Amino acid sequence: MARLARAGHSSSRPKAVAVVNRLAEMFPGATTELHYRNAFELLVATILSAQSTDARVNSVTPTLFARFPDAGALASADGAELESLIRPTGFFRAKSRSLQGMAAQLVERFGGEVPGTLDALVSLPGVGRKTANVVLGHAFGVPGLPVDRHVLRVATRIGLASGRTPEAVEAQLCRALPARLWTLASDCLILHGRRVCRPKPLCAKCPIQSACAYYSTATAMSRTTISRPRRSAHRR
């Protein structure tokens, strides 16, 4: 527990950096798996990725971006057509409202361009910190650490963070890592969470066992169970 209580403290920096570097070796070239060509497309794709998969988003965005290539076109899109195009990503009515609200705000307040600051991004409809950090880190090269369900699960298992909310984990990871590693850390933790440290983790295949709090606790517990003498069922 003491290990978790210190998560995010500056003393955990070397461990956090070592874990991210090891994961970066595992996943060379780690980046978002969403397909995009500019900040507008990445913003749209990231909004669509909520409660969906990157593959499903990537299956609809080529047609979507061909039909609505910029904020002006998306803001004036026919709602029924937009819903139909994004339907495979789920929650299509709410996402359609977010996309059109976001696009209208881009036109009205930002000259049709995606702004490059966290405060401006999170002021847009449908854009939270996770989406804003994805866009900042990948489209603008501004350090950002998006925390999705994979980052939340993997970072807390390893012991890099102990928070229960994405905001808390983001703050702890940002304290534990230099800003130049924030975006890479998020990308690597997401890939590790999808491929190895799944909800049911594949620890036997994991190269960062020795740095993982969950693994060391699980190993210690199984040793205790094995070494504990069995009680006699017929004790009198």
| Burial group, residue 138, by CB count within 10 angstroms (0-12, 13-18, 19+) | buried
Asked if 212 is part of the footprint of ligand SF4 (rule: CB under 6 A), the reply reads yes
Helix, strand or coil for residue 7? coil
Question: Of the listed 15, 95, 130, 187, which one is catalytic?
Answer: 130
| Burial group, residue 67, by CB count within 10 angstroms (0-12, 13-18, 19+) | middle
When the beta carbons of 65 and 215 are compared against ligand SF4, the nearer one is: 215
Applying CB under 6 A, which of residues 4, 17, 214, 217 lies at the interface with ligand SF4?
A: 214
| Burial group, residue 116, by CB count within 10 angstroms (0-12, 13-18, 19+) | middle
Asked if 208 is part of the footprint of ligand SF4 (rule: CB under 6 A), the reply reads yes
Applying CB under 6 A, which of residues 31, 52, 58, 209 lies at the interface with ligand SF4?
A: 209
Site for ligand SF4 in 83-142 (CB under 6 A): none
- Cα–Cα distance, 209 to 21 (Å, whole number): 14
Q: Candidates 95-103, 164-172, 182-190, 195-203: pick the segment binding ligand SF4 (CB under 6 A).
A: 195-203
Least distance to ligand SF4, CB of residue 159, Å: 9
Q: Candidates 56-64, 88-96, 174-182, 198-206: pick the segment binding ligand SF4 (CB under 6 A).
A: 198-206
Residue from 57, 27, 56, 31 nearest 144 by CA: 31
Site for ligand SF4 in 141-180 (CB under 6 A): 157-158
Asked if 26 is part of the footprint of ligand SF4 (rule: CB under 6 A), the reply reads no
What lies within 8 Å, CB to CB, of 180 at 6+ separation is 143
Asked if 71 is part of the footprint of ligand SF4 (rule: CB under 6 A), the reply reads no
When the beta carbons of 89 and 172 are compared against ligand SF4, the nearer one is: 172
Least distance to ligand SF4, CB of residue 49, Å: 23
205: annotated active-site residue: no
95: annotated active-site residue: no
Residue 8 in tokens = 């995010």
Answer yes or no: are the C-beta atoms of 145 and 170 closer than 8 Å. Answer: yes
Applying CB under 6 A, which of residues 125, 128, 206, 217 lies at the interface with ligand SF4?
A: 206
When the beta carbons of 95 and 157 are compared against ligand SF4, the nearer one is: 157
| Burial group, residue 225, by CB count within 10 angstroms (0-12, 13-18, 19+) | exposed
Helix, strand or coil for residue 17? helix
Binding site for ligand SF4 (CB under 6 A): 157-158, 196-197, 201-203, 206, 208-209, 212, 214-215
